[in-house]
A and B are shown apart, each in its own frame.
Chain A
Amino acid sequence: GESVGLHLPTLSVQEGDNSIINCAYSNSASDYFIWYKQESGKGPQFIIDIRSNMDKRQGQRVTVLLNKTVKHLSLQIAATQPGDSAVYFCAENEAGNQFYFGTGTSLTVIP
């Protein structure tokens, strides 16, 4: 399988601050990446995706950056809110439909 790892297993931020969650991937042929959010007791929920022909993609309060040179992804959450507290996973995909997930980063937002 693929090796997808996250640099930090836990992250605590103050409400209103920006959060940055990092992810390293090992397969240089991966060309599609997704960030998922998983709240306690629920299934993973799609946040944002990016394809390898892009370096940056923005959504509502979230931005994903892709650095193919060092095989690194990051998820930036602006003005972090208590509802953002969850585990965040990055997942990589090469050509087919199979995704391989990292172990996750637990984000805690401190009110």
Chain B
Amino acid sequence: SQTIHQWPATLVQPVGSPLSLECTVEGTSNPNLYWYRQAAGRGLQLLFYSVGIGQISSEVPQNLSASRPQDRQFILSSKKLLLSDSGFYLCAWSADQGQPQHFGDGTRLSIL
């Protein structure tokens, strides 16, 4: 069966520091991968999606970037965190375009 792992679960970072969140998927090949941010009391906002290695697309302009160095690895990064980057970050995968997405347990990021 397929599983998705995200780490760390919780992260507290100072403003201006770099960020690297990692997501890996097991049990499937060539998944579509996604990064979302969920702010308190608000819905999920799609940040990045990837349909293959090295193929990254962004939904909204922001302080963050994403990379997919391997088929089942998706990384969310920032060179300098802002206070507004605080939130709950979720990674998800789907078998194909338009099919249901499966989420990891998320990383709760607090910026001080």
Is A bound to B?
no
Q: Which residues of B contact A (CB under 8 A)?
A: none
Q: Which residues of A contact B (CB under 8 A)?
A: none
